[in-house]
Structure 1
Amino acid sequence: MTTLLTLMVAVYLGFSAGRLEPRPEDRKDADIADGAGELGFFPPYSWWPLWCALTASVIALGVVIGWWLVVIGALLGLIAVSGLIYEYYRGVHAH
């Protein structure tokens, strides 16, 4: 089954790669200046993944200690996940 799934992904990537135009670094006749320009968006630092991990650990600890801690962790988790999702809509890094 793993071989078939790997073959399925390989066939899809093979067909997709045939339809894309080559990048400048893949062409033999390309100059260095052809690859110049913006490379993409790289997000700055963020504290939200830390809070998401802490709330996930509170939820896991709540399963051991008591279900009331799971509820508290889930409520804090909603705040942490919404902060992670909407990070670039407000504050210093707003677009």
Structure 2
Amino acid sequence: VGGPSVSGCPEYYPDFDILHLGELGDASDRMIQHLDEHNERPHQQIRFETQERLPLSQFPTPAHHLVNLRQYMLANIQFSSGCPYRCEFCDIPALYG
């Protein structure tokens, strides 16, 4: 499991076997390699934390051909990553830079 809430508060997810913390990057590659090589459940939780982020221009293109898009009313589009501002109420700089 991954995403902003997992990256911000991983301690809230004690029952999940594998956590992905941060954006796409070196942790994503390590997690995929681990899943390819191990098909058994881990004895304890494994956390893959991104140290080197993948540039947004290198994010993989969504595989829209794998789903029937007519079944969905909306889709997400990512134009940027992170934020240059440091608003005290916002967690984006802490999570994504």
* TM superposition score normalised by structure 1: 0.24
Comparing both chains, which one has the higher relative contact order based on Cα–Cα distances under 8 Å and sequence gaps of 6 or more? 2
* TM superposition score normalised by structure 2: 0.24
Would you tell me which structure has more strand in proportion to its own residues? 2
